[in-house]
Amino acid sequence: MAATNLTGVVNNYLTEQRTREDTQAVESLAAVFGPLMQTAESPSLNIRLRESADSLDGRLMLLDQDGKVQYDSFNTFCGQRLQLPEVLRVLSLGEMSAYGMHRPGRETVNRMSGEAEADYVAYGVHELLDSRGRSGAIVYVSRIQGMMDSLRSVRIQLITVFILIALAALMLALFLSRVLTTPIVNLSRTMRKMGKGDLSVRVPEKGSGELRQLAENYNIMAAQLENLDKSRNQFVSNASHELKTPLASMKIMLETMIYQPEMPAEMRQEFMGDMNHEIDRLTGIITDLLTLTRMDNRSDALNLEDLDLSAMTAETVRLLTPAAEKRSQRLEVNAPAGLGMRGDRTKLNQVLYNLIDNAMKYTQDGGTIRVSLERDGGNLIWRVRDNGVGIPKEDQEHIFDRFYRVDKARSRETGGTGLGLSIVRQMVTLHGGQISVESEPGRGSCFTVTLPANGKGEGA
């Protein structure tokens, strides 16, 4: 489109310019040869005509009123009638001048302009005037093949350039669309797979810039989802296992009672007591599970209020003292008055309760448990220290995991579910705090809870 427009413009420019030049040339020649026709001798007129024709690199002819050739710079048409449309326009229609470009066939061109292998020729005709008025016409046969040739080559060049540009643009567009769409196609394919449940697929992290970042972030998200999925499955299978154990032992006791109807009354009584105990365990596990999952969903946001942590610590210790005394354990507390923060009363109570409960459970009769509260810069720190059985190094990083127990048998004996510390850690984390443990087997453990005193709980 643009190419043809542009060649059109070039075409018009060149032909118009040539038309103007040729028309001007014939006009000035007419002014010279009009009077000469009347006065000059024919040999000298012939010579001047040939000279002018040579300097124009064309052919000149002088015609009389009837269109008959009187003089011809080629000297071949003399006496003949010239049947050119331009001659007709000037001599018959009375126009002053006429100009036309033609493609009459090679033979004619050769005969008219003397050029071989040329397709184009132009005729410029102008009336001749002498003192009596119009006496005939001058014909200029102009060789325009050269101009047409260069026009053609310009046109070919332009079209070639435009085709090349169009090809380049097309390739660029294809390339760009590949570069841009491939990562997006990959991403959406991966998303569809993940949507169908395959959480292990990842997007290739290729390219650069925003698309790469998108892929990376997507993969991070996918990895987290996969982890979450795995730990959920793990949690469900652990939970089922924990629930099955008490059920299985209750079933054994029940079957024994069914198949031995003559069982002694006191044995039956003992079985019933054991079953009651197992039911308590089941209830405990389920209560803990509910606490954990409720915090997971955050449906249970923190219930923030101003807390007097000093008073809370003393109160919890007071509640647990009778149990400690039963096992002749010493329960000491060191909590200076007036330390407080914003927090959730029930949850922080449970944190301390669980830690002291553990310390008592995993400390032999007659042991000592020390509870302390202190301020350290912007933090409040709880420490629960015991001189009990301690925790082996390799277990220390796992005790906060759900259902993890160092000594399963002992924990079950004491009624533990293995969920206590994971609940504690969740609650501390919800308050923006941290929990850590130091322990040496056989010598005791120390749990440290660090809480930000300005109480910026996540759920607040």
Ligand X SMILES: Nc1ncnc2c1ncn2[C@@H]1O[C@H](COP(=O)(O)OP(=O)(O)O)[C@@H](O)[C@H]1O
Residues that bind ligand X (CB under 6 A): 358-359, 362, 386, 388-391, 399, 404-407, 411, 416-421, 445
- Shortest Cβ 237–Mg ion spacing (Å): 21
Q: Which of 136, 390, 420, 457 binds Mg ion (CB under 5 A)?
A: 420
Q: Which of 316, 358, 422, 439 binds Mg ion (CB under 5 A)?
A: 358
The reply on whether position 390 binds Mg ion by CB under 5 A is: no
From the list Mg ion, ligand X, none, pick the one residue 417 interacts with, judged by a Cβ distance below 5 to 8 Å according to partner type.
ligand X
- Indicate the residue among 388 and 432 with the shorter CB distance to Mg ion: 388
Q: Which stretch binds Mg ion (CB under 5 A): 66-74, 305-313, 391-399, 415-423?
A: 415-423
The 3-state secondary structure of the chain, one letter per residue: CHHHHHHHHHHHHHHHHHHHHHHHHHHHHHHHHHHHHHHCCHHHHHHHHHHHHHHHCCEEEEEECCCEEEEECCCCCCCCECCCHHHHHHHCCCCCEEEEEECCCHHHHHHHHCCCCCCCEEEEEEEEEECCEEEEEEEEEECCHHHHHHHHHHHHHHHHHHHHHHHHHHHHHHHHHHHHHHHHHHHHHHHHHHHCCCCCCCCCCCCCHHHHHHHHHHHHHHHHHHHHHHHHHHHHHHHHHHHHHHHHHHHHHHHHHHHCCCCCHHHHHHHHHHHHHHHHHHHHHHHHHHHHHHHHHCCCCCCEEEEEHHHHHHHHHHHHHHHHHHCCCEEEEECCCCCEEEEEHHHHHHHHHHHHHHHHHCCCCCCEEEEEEEEECCEEEEEEEECCCCCCHHHHCCCCCCCCCCCHHHHHHCCCCCCHHHHHHHHHHHCCCEEEEEEECCCEEEEEEEEECCCCCCCC
- Indicate the residue among 251 and 408 with the shorter CB distance to Mg ion: 408
How many residues lie near Mg ion (CB under 5 A)?
Answer: 3
- Indicate the residue among 390 and 420 with the shorter CB distance to Mg ion: 420
From the list ligand X, Mg ion, none, pick the one residue 347 interacts with, judged by a Cβ distance below 5 to 8 Å according to partner type.
none
- Shortest Cβ 285–ligand X spacing (Å): 9
- Indicate the residue among 338 and 442 with the shorter CB distance to ligand X: 442
- Indicate the residue among 243 and 253 with the shorter CB distance to Mg ion: 243
- Shortest Cβ 449–Mg ion spacing (Å): 15
- Indicate the residue among 152 and 410 with the shorter CB distance to ligand X: 410
From the list ligand X, Mg ion, none, pick the one residue 271 interacts with, judged by a Cβ distance below 5 to 8 Å according to partner type.
none
- Shortest Cβ 243–Mg ion spacing (Å): 18
- Indicate the residue among 67 and 416 with the shorter CB distance to ligand X: 416
- Shortest Cβ 355–ligand X spacing (Å): 8
Closest residue to bound ligand X by CB: 416
- Indicate the residue among 177 and 293 with the shorter CB distance to ligand X: 293
- Shortest Cβ 435–ligand X spacing (Å): 11
Q: Which residues bind Mg ion (CB under 5 A)?
A: 358, 416, 420
